[in-house]
Structure 1
Amino acid sequence: MHRGKGMKFVGDSRVLAPESRKTMLPKDYSEYPGKTEAFWPNFLLKEWMIGAVFLVGYLCLTVAHPAPLERIADPTDTGYIPLPDWYFLFLYQLLKYTFASGPYTVIGAMIIPGLAFGGLLLAPFLDRGPERRPMKRPLATGFMLLALASIVFLTWQSVATHDWAAAERQGKIVAKVDIDKTSDGYKIASDNTCITCHGENLQGGAGAPSLIGTGLSADEVAKIAKNGTTKMPAGIFKGDAEQLKKLSEFISGLGKK
């Protein structure tokens, strides 16, 4: 008897044939020319190249325009007005309104932002439809436009209403100067309460500018001390002409090399 003669092969329907098993696997990306590509290395290499371009551009921007620095923080300066980075300006502006500041700070600082950002967690449950077009998803589109409009408006309000000139003055870096506190000029400044607003070292504070390196002449300092400015009332200086001369020469000489 020849080998295999009289033998029959019986197939089992519970075991899938190799041809049937292939139909359950996703098609290879090569069967969709122009529509997809291999993740490695084609797609990933493109991502890296684009990321490298943006990184180099960002580094060039930081070198050309370094981040502005302010003077060292002074905890005794109660007149300092802090300002957060641009991406938090809308929250900063929110705390200026009556319903979100003062006794209602908790509402502006925690409750309102908590509800807004907590709503992001509910977004997948509020609109579970298969549609992708914005007009077919009114809830998701409406909440997104409302959030975007609120952030843009509050950010714009914060920039438009902030006193940028005062912020520049209060954060200006001033070179350290060794002040002779035994000099007649300093004693006159102390007797006329100059250090009350301008600080013990005349570095500025309580909303008053620094008196170091003002660039003003002695005559200009004497005029301001006598007549005042928009933020400094006249009549604060109570000394005579000789004391005014010593004080103005002392202040005008601070910071000069």
Structure 2
Amino acid sequence: MHKGKGMKFVGDSRVLAPEARKKMLPKDYSEYPGKTEAFWPNFLLKEWMVGAVFLVGFLCLTIAHPAPLERIADPTDTGYIPLPDWYFLFLYQLLKYSYASGPYTVIGALVIPGLAFGGLLLAPFLDNGPERRPFRRPVATGMMLLALAATVFLTWQSVATHDWAAAERQGKIVAKVEIDKSNPGYEVFKSQGCINCHGENLQGGAGAPALTATGLKPEEIANIAKNGKGAMPKGIFKGNDKQLKQLTEFISGLGEK
């Protein structure tokens, strides 16, 4: 056998030749003026700048308009009407309707939101056509417009129908006042059943306002005790004139400087 005969050399290289690699590279950005740009740092820098502007604006807003604070939460106050954050107002309003509350709470709290959000999650699988124009996708566009309209309407109704005056009274921060429970006026307060609505420390509750630091004169309090006001009915006070005087002077003196 002669040297070199009967042997073959086979080459297999997985590395592309320079000419082939050059063809696979994307074209230079300069060939698309105004249409594309490098992600780093051009595009990302613009994103950061816009985000910084919004962040500074949001911080200025929080400084100019601090979040309103209410009194300390009282779990025993069953008359307090809570209000969720703005992004849950549409669900809050939904639970006010007949077939979404009471015995049907499961429908309003689970079934309807579950169908809505479930449809949103399944949207990529239910509508996977190539069309991007809204009018060429009537089902998906119609469902999205319906959901958007329902959310806006329910949110607006929640804000429009909420009793903001009652909410302000309920959440009002009242200065802590030392209650002299040995005072004869407090004994009248208990004996007349006022404690059931206004609380042991006259802090209010069950829809009744706090009786500390009212700023009212004894005569004004006596008029309310006899004739009622708001949710308080007329003639609820059954005591005599002496008891009425003790009660009104006691309440009027609470919180005075």
Q: Same fold (TM over 0.5)?
A: yes
Q: TM-score, normalised by structure 2?
A: 0.91
Q: State how far apart, in whole Å, the 2-side matches of 1:141 and 1:161 are.
A: 30
Report what 1:142 is aligned to: 142
Structure 1 residue 129, shift from structure 2 partner: 2.0
Match of 2:34 in 1: 34
1:46 paired residue number = 46
Match of 2:152 in 1: 152
Counterpart of 1:106 in structure 2 is: 106
Counterpart mapping for 1:16-95 below 5 A:
17-95=17-95
Three-state SS of the structure 1 residue aligned to 2:107 is helix
Say whether residues 1:128 and 2:128 are aligned partners.
yes
Which residue matches 1:206?
A: 206
| Residue identity opposite 2:225 in structure 1 | A
DSSP-derived class of the 1:78 partner: coil
CA distance in 2, matches of 1:196, 1:53: 53
> Using the alignment, how far apart are the partners of 2:162 and 2:112 within structure 1?
22
The answer as to whether partners of 1:215 and 1:252 remain within 8 angstroms in 2 is: yes
User: Given the two structures, how large is their TM-score scaled by the length of structure 1?
Assistant: 0.91
- Alpha carbon RMSD of aligned pairs, Å? 1.9
Counterparts of 2:108 and 2:224, CA distance in 1: 41
CA distance in 2, matches of 1:213, 1:27: 76
User: What secondary structure does 2:27 align onto?
Assistant: coil
Paired residue type of 2:82: P
Aligned length: 247
Identical-residue share of aligned pairs (%): 81
Kindly report structure 1 stretches of 4+ aligned residues shifted beyond 6 Å: none
Tell me the alpha carbon deviations over residues 130-164 of structure 1, each in whole angstroms, 9 at most, x when there is no partner. Answer: 22221111122111100000001111111122111
Whole-Å Cα distance in 2 between the matches of residues 203 and 15 of structure 1?
Answer: 82
SS at match of 1:219: helix
Cα distance per residue 1:35-76 (max 9 Å; x no partner)? 222212211111111111111110111111111111111111
| CA positional deviation for 1:79 | 0.9
Contact kept in structure 2, 1:126 and 1:139, CA below 8 Å? no
Secondary structure in 2 matching 1:96 = coil
Partner-residue secondary structure (3-state), 2:148: helix
